[in-house]
Structure 1
């Protein structure tokens, strides 16, 4: 049996012992709950008071933990989009075509079935607020993947090339996308997301509907120029010594303290919003039967305190791939509860489906396992399992590159580097006993060669399994243009297939993989990051090509009308300024009609 098959064998019921039958009976006696999932961005496993952080203030979450279940050994991916794909689908991200965070590899295959789709089909109202990061254009948007109410930013964060023109980098008064429509907003982004979620919840309650709200903040992800001012000022006088993990010279220390003050301000602002949300649930008298989940998406975005672990964002050491998971459900869980069983992002979907009494489609293959029995029954069975975490840069996953396999108490890891597309030579595998050595200080490969060999074999089986989920498994998804769902499509550097220079550098270039149901006439507008000089642009769509002159001075307004083909094709723009060829910042493609 393959490792993936072994996982799926337990994805719904674990092992049906007497105790698991008992908890299932008690769960079925409950009314279906509402669901709120809150996930912060680049907040690390140690950035909480309840995790021992002495500097960053999270009083609302600290109090919530005392009334909730806490999963202490919960794993996520080392970077943003892979975690989100796994969380949304209950599947390893390598099954979903989402394998990186940008240049078209953060897009998730539209055939994937999400938590939102399952709950919507079961009668829930569904909403997302904040960060999606699994595709910005049809059919990849959250509104195409089961979310009825959407207020999101594009790309992997505010301050990236997918920002709307004129609203770049604005955490305060950002321009977001409300159900696909570019919409200027007032206020700080995290506050806006929680306000919108609470409005959605109020509406669902008024209509007597169950709801699923997904609040995915882009804080405390950088850039750090725009943070809650009063909190930032208060943290500037804080002593960050207790959460620094290495000594720094005075100049670097000053810059690091300023950055940490900004990150801490964003984290405490999230915490304050969690408090506002919980008070809203109390006001609406729905707190008791509403599941509230809190987690972070990967390790911290600086090298700072991660408890008794090592690592940070992008690392596959535990400090880069661990998150506390807070699970609050007063009606069903006698809190406080702490569990140390091995769980991961792939488990959230089956857990929520169990809690909401939603049967999975018989043909839906997932990797996760419901951990609801652990929260409702002290004696629940939890068969030994393996969880694999892998992510690195590049177009196609490489066997052994930057992975960790977990089987309590063991961790087999090859930390070959997220920023590298490939590694050379045989893998230098490390083996740790995390129960005895959580900081991964002593490689015990030589002491337990049979364990290392067994886990290596299991990893190889896992990699073979996830790599053959579908034909041409790692081909990027395509953006579909010209539909009534999205007559105007904005193509950004977030989703292009990078071909020249550094991915987002001014002189870089790339192409987009597009699809159209039929040939059509389109207005094509080129957009530049800065005011351009005079130049010449060639627009190519499959075998079609057309040129236009770039007039100096204006970022927008460089338009050409083209007949674009039907079917699948590559779309690119080569802009020549003097003797340099580069790509545009964005391209706006608007359907006009049939040719």
Structure 2
């Protein structure tokens, strides 16, 4: 794992502590296997067992009946922040992963993931699906503890990070297998579950404990490529019972088509969950395998969220809640449930608790184990607060788009995820969720002392997470030219945006790089196609190179650069018909090693 030499030793210390991990409290032969399944944009209400009358999830409903259940489980309002919290047991503002794109979905490589903890304790580790915390060394899942990795780049298939020639392909996609672009056959969700089950099979046959993370990109958009047979079935369904807003006939038809596609993807995930349990039965390991299911944020349309309100990107409860289904027959009785306040930051400490893996005393976690609630060792835990905050931009702003939860209170400022900042004084709202789960009655004026106290607690939280490391919100850098990644594919997902809308054709940005040593590189510029002839100016630190761009050619625009050691910024300014824009992607290949 790469350790940035510019990070102070006190921070680096947190990472190297994993070398001291032992399984102390659990005999290796008895410790459980672990499978975490997390869907993308599914939403808290998209399950039969959560009361959804339309979307079919029979396998998950059956899993729920056999499992323990947390009914008050919180996640972040959007993708990457939830994943950083889940992987580290720490608030994402500690990890430098603060947004979902343009270089701010990259998690600092000094963070210690659950995969690293379990790998160092002797588990085999594999990830299948969505990572969304960095596509280049040292930020990839394979650099952060996962020994086997089959993922897509960026935040989803159909984004600018897609491999060239395979853009938007949910069926027969090109995925990244252990760092290499690999064409695959089949539907993406099926592929991820197949690969996970192969990994599980190999682990069991080798008599090794395993940690398997299946993070589907479904039902995230785009919605053009979905399981066809299920889509045809759902086209016949009346979706009006799960629509929040009344729509005119034309808009209803459009929305119903979208929901048919989303529902098809969800039911396809459900079918794969059934296949997974069949595999565990075949291998004889169901009894002592923990299988967890959750979603990463609220639903990607305004649809049913039970007795709450909100959707993806909202800090209202419908945007930040997930069911947490915890299947472990060896230790957790079917039907055991808890409504104690829990969140994504609790998953790492809970799983390490279950696996008997001790966390070093000086490694700071924000989460806590909820395992006693599900094993029957406890019916409650000490009172606590959970804070969730995410918005666009390069650095968090105090009070911007946050929610603080302390039973039964919710202090919230829903100022909007899509904005980098808000102006004026925050209009804080207070709700008693025990009486008002839909957040209809703002009681801020009735409880001024509660407001004052919770606001002070939020201030302390924000100060704490923002001071985790010096220059806490500086974007991580991509490290080039090492044996770990001799060819770096740089995409608009991880550039630092400088011009236009971040992913628009006329936009531009720069990449923050670091080279451990000087080296010779080939640089290739890639375009979306259909462009006129032009000229590119490539700037890397103090070096500048120009390159003619042939009209219409997506690839083949190459030149050689000798890059110095150290930190540098790579910029590519392309002029087409007098207008400047950036390339679609850049490939840097080390040539002298």
TM-score, with structure 2 as normaliser: 0.95
**Aligned-partner Cα distance in 1 for 2:25–2:149:** 34
Which position in structure 1 is the counterpart of 2:559? 560
Alpha-carbon displacement from aligned partner over 1:444-465 (angstroms, at most 9, x marks no partner) = 1111111111111000000000
Listed as ranges, the gaps of 5+ residues in structure 2 are 1-23
Partner of 2:18: none
Offset, 1:338 = 1.3
Equivalent residue runs for 1:39-438 within 5 Å: 39-377=38-376, 379-438=378-437
The answer as to whether partners of 1:541 and 1:565 remain within 8 angstroms in 2 is no
SS in structure 1 at match of 2:591: strand
Alignment of 1:475-486 (within 5 A): 475-486=474-485
3-state secondary structure, aligned to 1:405: strand
Aligned residue pairs, count: 570
Taking a change above 3 Å as real, the CA distance of residues 254 and 368 of structure 1, as seen in their structure-2 partners, is same
Larger displacement relative to structure 2 (275-284 or 446-455): 446-455
> Post-superposition shift, 1:158?
0.1
**Cα separation, 2, equivalents of 1:243 and 1:61:** 19
C-alpha displacement at 1:378, in angstroms? 5.7
Q: Secondary structure in 1 aligned to 2:193?
A: helix
1:360 deviates by: 0.7
> C-alpha separation between the residues in 2 aligned to 1:445 and 1:415?
14
Q: Tell me if 1:526 matches 2:528.
A: no
Contact conserved, 1:68 with 1:328, CA < 8 A, in 2? yes
1:486-539 deviations in whole A, cap 9, x for unaligned?
000000000000000000000000000000011111000000012321100000
- Structure 2 counterpart of 1:18: none
**Per-residue deviation at 1:31?**
1.7
Superposition deviation, residue 168 in structure 1: 0.1
Q: Structure 1 unaligned segments of length 5 or more: list them.
A: 1-24
8 Å CA contact retained: 2:345, 2:368: yes
In 1: Cα distance, 2:225 partner to 2:78 partner: 22
The TM-score with structure 1 as length reference comes to: 0.95
- 1:312 CA displacement: 0.1
The corresponding residue for 1:8 is: none
Tell me, yes or no, if the aligned pair for 2:25 and 2:356 is still in contact at 8 Å: no
Rounded Cα–Cα distance in structure 2 between residues aligned with 1:592 and 1:121? 34
Contact kept in structure 1, 2:189 and 2:269, CA below 8 Å = yes
Structure 1 runs of 4+ with >2 Å offset: 25-30, 378-381
Contact 1:542 1:570 in 2 (8 A): yes
Equivalent residues in 2 for 1:440-589, closer than 5 Å = 440-589=439-588
Is the Cα contact below 8 Å between 2:338 and 2:379 reproduced in 1?
Answer: no
Look up the SS of the partner of 1:129 in the other structure: strand
**Counterparts of 2:551 and 2:509, CA distance in 1:** 23
Q: Distance in 1 between matches of 2:558 and 2:28?
A: 61
Pairwise CA distance, 1:570: 0.5
What CA distance in whole angstroms lies between the structure 1 residues aligned with 2:568 and 2:377?
Answer: 55
Taking the aligned partners of 1:65 and 1:309, their CA distance within structure 2 comes to 21
Structure 1 vs Structure 2 CA RMSD = 1.2
- Structure 2 distance, partners of 1:52, 1:530, is 47
The match for 1:592 is: 591
Contact 1:27 1:332 in 2 (8 A): no
Structure 1 Cα separation of the partners of residues 523 and 324 of structure 2: 45
The answer to whether the Cα contact below 8 Å between 1:514 and 1:571 also exists between their aligned partners in 2 is yes
> What is the CA distance between 1:361 and its match in structure 2?
2.2
Offset at 1:268?
0.2
Structure 1 residues 26 and 491, CA gap change in structure 2 (3 angstroms): closer
Separation (CA, whole Å) in 2 of partners of 1:342 and 1:116: 25
